[in-house]
Amino acid sequence: MRWTLRETLIIAVLGAVFAVLYLAWVQLWLVAQAAFGAISMDVFMGFWFIASMVAAAIVRKPGVAFGAEVLAAAVQILLGSPAGLLLIVTGMVQGAGAELVFALTRWRSYSLPVLMAAGVGAAVFSFAYTWVRFDYGALEPGLIVTMFVLRCLSGALLGGLLGHAIVQALYRTGVLHGLRIDEDRRAGRA
């Protein structure tokens, strides 16, 4: 279950690519926030979990979801994210939420429902973290429920469903030949 050099490099590349995409996504979120208010963060949040789903579905080993998300956070810091070192904690929390779902399957299932559940896992963990960090307890209960539901939906759709689509597209190109995803597909264990 140890990562090979090729797998480690793939996780590193995915972390770096998604770090750049995450920084670009912040810009879109800022526009949405100006137009629709702070609740737009919960709508956009799921995309910031996607590195976990994509890397885990490709490599299919323990720790990959967590590692990819932490690496994406670290690269964002290196690229000048104003969030600073707190971004590492954010990446750890989000990655742990996704990793827990894969652990519950014993790292054996990476189907669309599992990827969507991992997106929800990352959403739940991130919501708990931001609850403490931003004192959500001071908000109206109805708003809290709305934020939570939107974040979970976003995690499932932008993290899980979109992540699944990206993995399928990458698989069709042949670049994942010889990796665990390819072995599982060939053995009928998709």
The span from the CA of 63 to the CA of 133, in Å, is: 25
Supply the pLDDT for residue 1: 78
CB 123 within 8 A of CB 151: yes
In angstroms, what CA-CA distances link 173 with 32, 61, 176?
A: 33, 22, 8
pLDDT in tens, 63-83: 999 999 999 999 999 999 989
pLDDT in tens, 88-98: 999 999 999 99
Mean pLDDT to the nearest integer, 21-37? 94
All structural domains of the chain, each given as residue ranges with its CATH number in brackets, are 5-186 (1.10.1760)
Query: Pick from 127, 32, 18: which is nearest to 81 by CA?
Result: 18
Would the pLDDT of 38 be above 90?
A: no
Would the pLDDT of 189 be above 90?
A: no
CB 122 within 8 A of CB 91: no
Supply the pLDDT for residue 89: 97
CA torsion sign for 121, 122, 124, 128 is: positive
Query: What tokens were used for 106?
Result: 């014993």
The span from the CA of 85 to the CA of 90, in Å, is: 9
Alpha helical stretches, state H, 64-161 = 64-78, 86-104, 112-134, 141-154
Supply the pLDDT for residue 188: 87
pLDDT in tens, 133-173: 999 999 999 999 999 999 999 999 999 999 999 999 999 99
Percent of the chain surpassing pLDDT 70: 100
The pTM is what? 0.96
Percent of the chain surpassing pLDDT 90: 95
Which residues are CB-neighbours of 149 under 8 A, at least 6 positions away? none
Would the pLDDT of 34 be above 80?
A: yes
C-alpha 64, offset from chain centre = 11
